[in-house]
Structure 1
């Protein structure tokens, strides 16, 4: 984050979104050291899902999109709801919420 090199606290949301993606410890390492990472390390720490050669970006994007679409709109919507809403709950409530939503797709 370039702000650190200027003697400033990063203020574009990075100090709040990054720990939610890669954890507090790794975030502290990256921000406090102003460390730059390459694409492979970004994938290893969970910052990006995959690293693709530029010539393969379109085909990989289409492949991922087709895979997601094959689940169906109703299931994708339910999964997004369970993950997003459950993340804001305590773990017991989230697991109960997940279980109830999962039950709507049985049989």
Structure 2
């Protein structure tokens, strides 16, 4: 992770792609899921550079832009940035990697019903 980047600075789709490519040399699919009152960021096993990837580069960029907005809204940009920069895990076929997001208390009540 670039030490010049403020950990609480908003994420962008470009930064997400850069983090993914720096870590795994591929643009993996990301998903935000909610289970049992918690949010998880998942790194899926499919990636943009695969021939069978279902999204175009433009659609992938738009999806990441929307995801970045959601992550920023949840107040977890720093957690995501740190995890994507430091995790030792690798995406594997059929198994998503997951980060349990720790929502700031003021955000948790807004997003969880």
Higher relative contact order structure (alpha carbons within 8 Å, sequence separation ≥ 6): 2
Q: TM-score, normalised by structure 2?
A: 0.27
Q: Which has the higher helix share?
A: 1
Structure of greater Rg:
1
State the TM-score, normalizing by the size of structure 1: 0.28
